[in-house]
Amino acid sequence: GQVAFMRLKELHGTDAQDIFTAFLDIFDKHGLLEKLEIITTDGAEVLLGWKNGFGAKLRAKLGRLLHLHCIAHKFQLASADAFNEPEMVDIDRGLSAIYNLVHKSAKRIDELAVLNAKYDEEKRDKAARLIVKAIRKFCKTRWLSRDSATTSILDKLDAVMQLVQTLDDKAGGRMDQEDEAKGAMKLTELAARMLDFPFLLLLHWTGDITAQLATVCRLMHAVRDHFVGHARFLKPHAPT
């Protein structure tokens, strides 16, 4: 479906009434309030609260409204909780460390492309090396970020492992002070992890699991879009 961004508006507060007032101001000016059938928000109480939340106030004014907790936000909450174990936190740190290491210079990106060509028959020629898929950045607040970051590494894992080991050998154990200040995974630690069987096993497991979850999440988005198209024929009711 088509996505349209209407505008940004500064809030004078963060409670349900402040959000409600700002929302009405925008939608009234554009003549869209009476056309509103369904809204999707995250699960914050100030938004989703059945009696005093933003959705409740809007529903009371309009007399009808379907208010859904965003499936993407639910996915993010569940995955963040599942990946809060120490071993999985280590995977997240590894994803960020690999991205930072490769994308600090165009030279490393090119080195990775050349290495990847050695392991991929389809990328033997120079032109193909130049368009090798990049390592994707991992961001905890983006719901599909872990899947895209993990997949982008697993797709070229042999090349990534060789690049990390080569850079670590050249560094001779030296560590980037900027990375140290940020608490990032050090190059020597990353190089050791890339040779650690449990770490690699978890990395593959993460790729398998997040790929399935991402597929389900995209499917739910498609179902939601279809559902929104028929929302006007449904009558919302209070939960029992």
Q: What is the pLDDT of residue 129?
A: 45
pTM score over 0.75: no
Of 160, 136, 161, 131, whose CA–CA distance to 150 is shortest?
136
Q: Please tell me the distance from the alpha carbon of residue 32 to that of residue 35, in angstroms, as a whole number.
A: 5
Task: Classify residue 86 by burial, with Cβ atoms within 10 Å: 0-12, 13-18, 19+.
Answer: exposed
Averages of pLDDT over each 10 residues, the chain, 240 residues: 77 91 89 84 88 91 84 78 85 92 86 82 50 77 84 92 90 53 72 92 92 80 61 48
Q: What is the pLDDT of residue 172?
A: 66
